Structure 1
Amino acid sequence: MRPLRLDSLEIFEDVVRCGGFRAAALGRGVSSSAISQSISVLEEALGIRLLNRTTRSVAPTEAGEQLLERLRPALYEIRTAVDDLNQLRERPSGTVRINAPGPAADHVLCPLTFEFMKIYPDVNVEIVSDAAIIDIVEQGFDAGVRFGNQLAQDMIAMPLGPALRYAIVASPDYLRKRGRPHSPRDLLQHDCIRRRFPGGTMVTWKFARDGDEVEITPKGRLTLSSAHQELQAALAGSGIAHLFEDYVRDDVEQGRLVELLCDWKQKLPSWYLYYPSRRHTSAAMRAFLEYIRNQRQHPDRR
C-alpha cells in the first residue's frame, strides 16, 4: 500500500468542487494526467474508490461523499491556521479569487485589481467572468460581484462604484437605413441585438421616464451572450444594442455609435463586492477589502 499524501486530499476536494480533472488541473496549473494520478494514488492508499468517472463527468462515490463531509472542515482549519501565520508577515500573500459578470470585471474590478497588485506584489488575483448566479463558497471563491439587489442576506457587501445606467445605441449606418426610434415601444419595430443569460432566459429591456415604466422583450435576428459581442454587432450596423454606458461612452463620443432614448434611462443599483459573513477572511482578501475601502473614501487616488 502506498503512503497517504495529505496534498492529495486537497486535490480530491478540488476535483469534486470543479466538477472534473481538467478544471481542477487548470486551477492548479498542472496537467490533467497529474491530477488523475494523484487521485489514483489516494484511492490506492485508502483502498476504496472515491470517484465515479465517465467520459463526461466525475462525481464522488458514497465513500467519497462521506470523506468530503469530514474533509472540508478539516482543510478549512488547515488553511486558516496557515493564513494566521501570514498575519505575521510584513506583506500579505496568497490568492484572491473573485467571480464577477463581464461588465463589472471589465470596467470596475479589473482597474481596481491592477492597481492593488502593484501595491501588494505577493498577492495573486484570479477573476472569473461569469454572468450566472452561483454559490461562491461552494465554488471556492473568496468574493463575488453582483447588483446590490441580488445578494443573499448572509453576505457582507460593499459598493464598488456609482449607480449604473444602460444606453440604447446604434450605428449611424443602421439609423440611416431603418430610422430612429422615438419611444421604447418603437424598438419593437427594429432589429434589436438580443442577449441570452447563461440559464437560457432572454434579457428584457427596461425604461423609465416621469413615472412611466416600460419593459420590452426585444426582437431581432441576432442573439448573443456577452456585452463585448453586442458592442461589436452594434458597431457593425447589425442592430440596436442595450449596453452599459461604460461600454459605449468612447464610441458615442467619437461618433461611431449614436445614443437613443436618452430621456428614458433607468437607474440601476451599483455593483457590489460581496463575501461570506461567517467565513474566515484570508490576509490577501483583507488587504483587498481595505484597498477598496480606501478607494471609496479617496477616489481621486485611483
Structure 2
Amino acid sequence: MLPDFNRLKVFYYVFLYRSVAVASAELNITASAVSQSLNKLERELTVLLFTRLHKKLVPTFAGDQLFEIVSPFIRDLEAGIRQIRQAKQIPSGMIRVGSPIEFGISYFPKIFAAFRKKYPEVVFTMTLGDPAHIFPKIKSGELDFGLVDIFVTQEQVFEDFGIYSIEPLIDEEVIMACSRQYYEKEIKGDHSFKNLASKEYISYEKSSLTLRNWFKYHFNKFSIGLNRVLTVDSHQAVISGIKNQMGMGVIASHIVRKEIKKGQIIPITTVKKNVINKISLVQLQDKVPTLTEKTMVNFLKADIFSSVHSKKFLTVTSD
C-alpha cells in the first residue's frame, strides 16, 4: 500500500528545512499537526525517518532514501502546476495535432515555427495518418484537434460521428493522373469508364476507397475490380509509382504542380470538374478548449485563409 500523500508532503518539508516549525509555516498548519503526521508516516512505514535530538532533526538512512524518492516528484508536480496555471494566462504547454501525412509534412512545421515566435512557451507533437487513425485519437483525447481529408472518408463509418465538430478549411483539388509515357501508351485520349477501369492502378490504401470514390464521382459507378499493381502507405509513394510508369493514381494536384505544367504528369479529366477534397478541422464537439488550443486554432485559420495560401491547393490543372 502506498503511504498517504499528505504525510509524504509533510515529510518533504520537514526534511527540506530540518524543522517542524518551518515546515508548519510553509504548509500553513500547526506544528502539532506536522509532528502527528510525521509520527503516523513512520508507523505506517515501520521505520524511523529522523533521529530527534534537542531542537534538531537528523535524517536516518531510511529518511534519506525516502527523500530521494519523493523530492523529484514534488518538484515536478510544483513545476507542472505552475505551467497549468500559466496556460490560463498566456499560451503555453503542449498542443497535440493530427494531420494527413503529406499535408502535415509540407505545411505544419512552418506554422508551428511561426506560432512559437509569438508564443515560445508552446511545444507541439504531430500525429500523421488517415482519418481512420486521426478520429479515434481525437475521441480518446490523445489529440487536441486534427485536420482530416473528407473526400477519403466518404463511405467510411466512424463510431459516434456526431460527437465531432467538423469545419471545412481547405479545398484541395484531387485528380487521377499518370505519367506522360503511360498516357501515350495506354490511355491515348480515351477517358471512358470502360477504358480507364481496365488499366493499372497505384492504391493509397488496401480498400482502394480513394480510387473508388473518384470513379463514383466522375462516372457514378464504383469500379470494383481495379487492377492494383501497387498498394502503398503514403501520397508520395503513389506519385513515385506514377512517375515510374506503373499506372494511374489519385493524388492532390498541387503536390505535382511543376510536373503537370511540364507535361511529365497527365491529369485524367472528364466532363465533370475535378474532385475537391475538403480538408477539415476536427475537434470533439463538447470539449472546452484551453487558451493555448484556441489561440493555435485561430492562428491556423488566419494563415490558411490568408491570400498567400487560399488558392494554393486549387485549380492547378487549369493554371
Long gaps (5+) in structure 1: 6-78
Structure 1 position 194 matched with structure 2 position 203: yes
Deviation string for 1:6-28 (max 9, x for gaps)? xxxxxxxxxxxxxxxxxxxxxxx
Q: 1:157 aligns with which of 153, 166, 190?
A: 166
Q: Name the CA shift for 1:80/1:117 in 2 (closer, same or farther; >3 Å).
A: same
**Counterpart check, 1:273 vs 2:281:** yes
Structure of larger gyration radius: 2
- Give 1:126's aligned residue: 125
Partner residue of 1:99?
98
C-alpha contact 1:231 1:247 (8 A) present in aligned 2 = no
Question: For the structure 1 residues 293 and 176, does the alpha-carbon distance in structure 2 shift closer, same or farther, using more than 3 Å as the test?
Answer: closer
Distance (Å, rounded) in 2 between the aligned partners of 1:100 and 1:80: 30
SS in structure 2 opposite 1:234?
Answer: helix
What is the CA distance between 1:3 and its match in structure 2?
Answer: 6.5
How much is the aligned-residue C-alpha RMSD, in angstroms? 3.3
Task: Give 1:300 deviation, angstroms.
Answer: 4.3
Query: Is the contact made by 1:182 and 1:261 (CA closer than 8 Å) also made in structure 2?
Result: yes
The structure-2 alpha-carbon separation of the partners of 1:127 and 1:265, relative to structure 1 and needing over 3 Å to count, comes to farther
* 1:222 maps to which of 221, 227, 230: 230
Partner Cα distance (1:301, 1:258) in 2: 24
Using the alignment, how far apart are the partners of 1:266 and 1:253 within structure 2? 17
TM-score, structure 1 length as denominator?
Answer: 0.62
Describe the superposition over 1:137-163 as per-residue Cα deviations: whole angstroms up to 9, x where unpaired.
41511012224586832333333222x
Alignment of 1:232-251 (within 5 A): 232-251=240-259
* 1:168-224 Cα distance to aligned partner (Å, 9 max, x none): 11112222332434223311221111232xxx5232242446xx5233243132222
Deviation, 1:103, is: 3.9
Matched position secondary structure for 2:227: coil
Give the TM-score normalised by the residue count of structure 2.
0.59
Amino acid at match of 1:216: S
**Alpha-carbon distance, 1:232 to partner:** 0.6
| Counterpart residue identity of residue 267, structure 2 | E
Deviation at 1:274, TM superposition (A): 1.5
Any conservation in 2 of the 1:157–1:275 contact (CA below 8 Å)? yes
Residue ranges of structure 2 left out of the alignment (5+ in a row): 6-79, 311-319
> Deviation of residue 289 (structure 1)?
1.3
Checking the alignment, whether the CA contact within 8 Å between 2:191 and 2:270 is kept in structure 1 is: no
Q: Secondary structure at the match of 1:161?
A: strand
* Structure 1 residue aligned with 2:116: 117
What is the deviation of 1:129? 0.9
The CA deviation string for residues 243-287 of structure 1, in whole angstroms up to 9 with x for no partner, is 122222222112221112254445345111121232232232121
Partner Cα separation in structure 2 for residue 148 and residue 169 of structure 1: 20
- Write the letter of the residue equivalent to 2:207: T
Task: Indicate the residue corresponding to 1:34 in structure 2.
Answer: none
- Which residue does the alignment assign to 1:213? 220
